[in-house]
Amino acid sequence: MERVELERIWAKEPVEKHILEKMEELRKEGKMVPDVSLLKRPSMIQGIKEAGVINTGVLDEVGKHIRVGMTTQEIDDIVAEYTKAHGAICAPLNYEGYPKSVCTSINEVVCHGIPSRLRKLHDGDIINVDCTTILNGYYADASRMFYVGNVSEERKRLVEETKHCLEIGIEAAKPYNTVGDIGYAISQYAHKKGYSVVRELGGHGVGTDFHEDPFVAHIGKKGKGMVLVPGMVITIEPMINAGKAAVVIDPYDDWTISTRDGKDSAQWEHTILITENGNEILTD
């Protein structure tokens, strides 16, 4: 979204006085508070919500078609066609040179798997489909895991525990908590269950751009990092590994990130709004 349009909205819809006063109080205490430009105003929140409806619909549509033998390019086609039919844009396409409309990450691939006509889904695979939608200049971002055919109990457990990590992270994303509280909650649970947490990648601010501040790590310390203020919109998207946390990037496509030890990884993601009473999931 153009800066001039944002400034028009900011002027028309200022941040409420009591929120600004609370932010100043926290700043004086030495806390890291967000710039007011990161606080989404009512009309902006509505725009993100509308993008979220389409983003959710895309993933629902993918879920109807996931099957053994389909290619990841077929998934990309579904995402592209559904998004276009609903008047929206696939944010990943051509983003920093990314060649497809969605990310499809299978088994040991942590994220940024590139759809291909050569990669078919096999019985027993798990796949993450990560979709970001732009509607009228507003972004919504979410990902889901899907089972392909008959999946092992070990893989099912990884997928379900990763989803629980997301839920725990969302629970920690309360107004005037910190980004560190989210990472702490997720990592404590994941480690207790015998899994590792990817450190190099994380969630982020989102709404009027694909990636905004703050970076939302899924490893953290209580009370550390940026304060979560009502009006902030962020993604929480834990990447949980069955083995060690180390990852590698494919040297040929410079996008696909996989576990270094070749063990499975899973990820779930939602876009959430920090509210005065808690938070709201915008991609549910």
Residue 116 DSSP label? -
- Whether 193 contacts 266, CB under 8 Å: no
Give the Cα separation of 133 and 212 in Å (integer).
15
Domain locations in the chain?
A: 41-281
Of the options 3.65.10.10, 3.30.1450.10, 2.40.100.20, 3.90.230.10, the CATH number for the domain spanning 41-281: 3.90.230.10
Mapped onto helix, strand or coil, the DSSP state of residue 92 is coil
Mapped onto helix, strand or coil, the DSSP state of residue 183 is helix
Give the Cα separation of 271 and 142 in Å (integer).
6
Which of 100, 83, 268 has the alpha carbon at shortest distance from 169? 268
- Whether 152 contacts 263, CB under 8 Å: no
Amino acid residing at 198: V
Tens place of pLDDT per residue across the chain (284 aa): 899 999 999 999 999 999 999 999 999 999 999 999 999 999 999 999 999 999 999 999 999 999 999 999 999 999 999 999 999 999 999 999 999 999 999 999 999 999 999 999 999 999 999 999 999 999 999 999 999 999 999 999 999 999 999 999 999 999 999 999 999 999 999 999 999 999 999 999 999 999 999 999 999 999 999 999 999 999 999 999 999 999 999 999 999 999 999 999 999 999 999 999 999 999 99
Give the Cα separation of 107 and 39 in Å (integer).
36
Tally of CB atoms within 10 A around 14: 12
